[in-house]
Amino acid sequence: MRRVVITGVGLVSPLGSDVGAVFDAVLAGRSGVVKVPVFASVDDLGARIGAPVSGFEPAKIPRKYRRSMSRMVQYAVSATADALASARYPADQLGSGRVAVVAGSTTGSPDAMQEFWKEFLETNSIRGISSTSFLRVMSHTVASHIALVYGVTGHVQSPGCACAVSNQAVGIAADLIRLGRADMVIAGGADELSVLSAATFDVVMAGCRGHEDAPHTRPAPFDRSRDGVVCAEGASIVIVEEREAALARGATILAEVLGYGESCDATHMSSPEPEGMEAAMQRSLADAGLSAEDIAYVCAHATGTVVGDAAEARAMEHVFGTEVPVSSLKGHFGHMLAACGGCEILMCIEAMRRGIVPPTLNLEDPDVAPIHLPRLPLPRSLPRVMTNNFAFGGINASLILGKP
């Protein structure tokens, strides 16, 4: 079977866009969560904090493309540029038909949807609706814009399972390469911070409320005080290649994609089940031909919800026992939605390279199953790591990476 590797990385996040510097910020305990004043202007919305991207310059994207792009697409296109540069991938090969794009978002742009429907509902007319509105609203807006900007003529696909998108994208990319349908895949996810995103979690009683006086203390994954999701934004992209082709062109291999597993709880749309999470992890281990003892670190999804974190901890205890170190990165970044998995993949690559397990920010008093939750950066050889993401609808996606 063709082996699958990661050769390039690109990131736009609340803590910056330089992957190494962002990992430094994680180890230093920095948070990208801040007060978001616009949230307070919405009646009955409890959210007051979020993790926005700052300092992003959309003008670096040519206007002929930018005019139909939402903010999250701009993030994705920028992260793709950095990933391609990181991989030193030949630009003249992007249109060969052997390059694919697998990238998605939770929905089309929430801000564009709000703009579109506000104009229509207030006027009962389409007169004021922009001709590019649908191009920002459509569910495959991230993937199609990446393909357009970089001239990709091969397979284009847009997974849409919210928090699981980036892991799904890399899993699909690995399958495309294993099956010989592509030699390289641009894979990842993007989302934007929006009132509508925060409202979604608020309505289902899963969103963090208040804390505007100390935003950096939320979310608090696995902690007894945890009280919900903090929405964030950004984009994360990886360049996934067939190993021999990457080596033949002299690429630097950052990680190998060893296994991928997915499952569906099929029990409840918003309340997760440990059994489904465990099934995804076991399937990724089986796909990689590994056992739980082969995994040196687990990067948890853990968003800071009471039910979700507890269920995930139980699932990890069943699979790994109490010795394998586990941490969540949501305390640093908030929940980047479709981009969270890709961001966590990049942090796992850095963790393997440096031999350091990042701790969970805002974890003071854990009240979950007895898994190993280091409070400080933990030096350790990390030959293989697992990173997990779980989405509404009971969608579970587990990915195993190996150090090259």
Active-site residue, selected from the candidate residues 140, 301, 332, 372: 301
SS3 (DSSP) at 35: strand
Q: Is the dihedral angle over the CA atoms 6, 10, 16, 21 positive or is it negative?
A: positive
- Residue 325 DSSP class: B
Contact call for residues 72 and 52 (beta carbons, < 8 A): no
Q: Please, are residues 277 and 311 in contact by the beta-carbon 8 Å criterion?
A: yes
Annotated catalytic residue: which of 155, 161, 163, 332?
A: 163
Supply 177's token pair.
Answer: 């390469």
231 is known as an active-site residue: no
**Parallel, antiparallel or unpaired: strands 356-357 and 378-379:** antiparallel
Distance from C-alpha of 129 to C-alpha of 119, rounded to nearest angstrom:
7
Q: What are 15-19's contacts with CB under 8 Å, separation 24+?
A: 15/332, 15/333, 16/55, 17/78, 17/79, 17/82, 19/346, 19/349, 19/350
Q: Tell me whether residue 335 is one of the annotated catalytic residues.
A: yes
Q: Whole-angstrom Cα distance, residue 100 to residue 297?
A: 30
The single residue of 335, 340, 343, 372 carrying the catalytic annotation is 335
145 is catalytic: no
241 close to 184: Cβ distance less than 8 angstroms: yes
DSSP, residue by residue, 242-295: EHHHHHHTTPPP-EEEEEEEEEE--S-SSS--HHHHHHHHHHHHHHHT--GGG-
Q: State the catalytic residues.
A: 163, 301, 335
